[in-house]
Structure 1
Amino acid sequence: MKKTMLAALAATLGVSASLPALAAGEVNIYSYRQPFLIEPILEAFTKETGIQTNVIFAKKGLEARMKAEGENSPADLLLSVDIGKLNGAKLEGVAQPVKNAVLETNIPAQYRDVDGQWFGLTTRARVIYASKERVEQTSITYEELADPKWKGRICTRSGQHVYTIGLIASMIAHKGEEETKTWLEGVKANLARRPTGNDRAQVKSIYAGECDISLGNTYYMGQMQTNDKEPEQKDWAESVRILFPNSEDRGTHVNISGVLLAKYAPNKDNAIKLMEYLASDAAQHLYAEVNFEYPVLESVEPSKLVKSWGSFKADTISLNKIADARTKASELVDIVDFDAGPN
């Protein structure tokens, strides 16, 4: 029955599915993480434990589906790429708390839900990509993005994208709503064009001379630098350097990829074993090498390529506070009409 439900879900959402025959040892995963990013880790888990993994991938709607399925949901775990989706799933009531010594030891408190309903597995920094040709400075702050000296020089993706909302929410957590609104208005005034495209598209715009700096997640640099299928992206990457904002004070904003245990997980014990494995030394090394992300396990170093971008101080504010400010951040984006671009 569960296998049928997983197949039906895949057909309904138009998503990719990996559905091996059901076995005594299995765990069913709903995932916002693209399959190629997690398959090496899941394969290693199966090799070590014998527990099979069944994966459904979708770009949206998984937490709503879990809520609609209720007690009949086949989902054991939800893997996500942003604190917003993890906390949103918690608010939808589709997660259950986990009290686990391995998770609490390996994952720093600021990357865990206060109620134990979601856990960060990797971090990524929200950085500034700066033109090597047209930007001389080697340090910057997020506050500085509102400085008129950057007028017509900033590119970014939509203000309503989850990565942008996370950064704005962090500003609210540190500066309050009014100061963040003023800052956001200043950033909007400095945009080179209407926000559009993904993080890599902003670097392409820098390469093309359309702007001088952009906001982006760190791992996109690794994806561009190693993209043999689209080698032009290597040229984009070569045209910029990474600046880690606020490294001299509170630190650079970081977001997480993470996991939560489904409320009605039918394979709860196996799911918790997988959660423990994802926070283990072995899996954290794989995350570092495959995904160009920063491990949450402090004893595991980033990959050689990631370390080549330089060291930085990460903002230690709890992601719980950032999650609480996300709704207000989204409201501010609309209030200042950020996605309309510069006047």
Structure 2
Amino acid sequence: MDMLEDLETLWFKCGIQEEDHSWLYLLGRSRGLMIKACAHATFFCKLLRNLRELFSRESLQEQQTSRCSMPGMLEDTPDDEELKVGIVGGGHLGKQLAHTLLRLVPIPPECLRISTRRPEALDEFKKLGIQCFYCNSSLVQWAHVVFLCCLPSQLPNICSEIQASLGKACIVYSFVAAIPIPRLKLLLNHTSILRPQYQCVEDLDRIWGANKEITAALQDPVILQATCPYSPAGGVILNLKWLEGVFYAAINTCTAKDMPHSQVLQLLNELFLSVHFKAYGKDGASCQKFQAQDFVSKAYIKNLFQKRPFPWFDLTAVQLKETPFSKYLSNSTTFQDHLTHLYCDSFGISLTREEQSEVSTGSPSQ
């Protein structure tokens, strides 16, 4: 509830001189950037969590098969490891992100931790069962995904603290817009880094719901559709290289478990395409699915035997250079429909065919 909704004289803009009103659009831009950032982080965590659930299912099926062929040889060892998420920074962005991940992924409180210089200021999260402390190295040792929500001036010191504690498979997701990917790679001596890049256009649509909490805003179909990766609505555009990074991060997660590439492709098809097939009553077997050549070069495929895992991908290189997946991602309108449907469905909102077509209209930044 907005306490100032009917008290116009107390609104922020009432304290600004008339000649400065032209700058008020920056409030909307900041709001749009915050909502998009939280939405895309939520989508990414939800994909990784669902992928880990698929791991557990596959592992259980393999155990059951082995138990049938060799009774008494295996004990019950279910893989119930949840996705563990850490946030470095407990300021405005860190708090908004934590609330969004808790409510919309949802991540259990015991699987979310926050490291900040002022943990005493996060009582609201401690009451929910979230560990809040000040030890960045301990956080990254524990987490599968680490979100950097700090100031650019703080980043060099934070990177020096956590560099030695970062595991190869830990994904660092940076919101520090002023620090480019090559610099991050150098500071962290790490390649599993994701950094979304946003471009703001001059004509900013006033759709971002200034009086709504971010979790409530992302339940608004208009706002949610404006955050879709392919959507230019709202005046804030996502660079699709981030989306490439998301796919290769998912593949790396499988490679870390030494999973054969053929099995990885099956999981990716189920993770990214099955929701759209079910929604429209389509036969998944008749639709184009991911192939190995969508992610690696033809030369590499010659030596990619069925039981062999995918190579380990440098996520920083994926976001800076052309990859085999680049053309597929930008040119396949069918896949854009799949992804748009999956994105909205992950937030509990279903699109009609007409709405889905409207969302995909435009030219996202490449």
Q: TM over 0.5: same fold?
A: no
Higher strand share: 1
TM-score, normalised relative to structure 1: 0.29
Structure showing greater Rg: 2
TM-score, normalised relative to structure 2: 0.28
Higher helix share: 2
> RCO higher in 1 or 2 (8 Å CA, sep ≥ 6)?
1
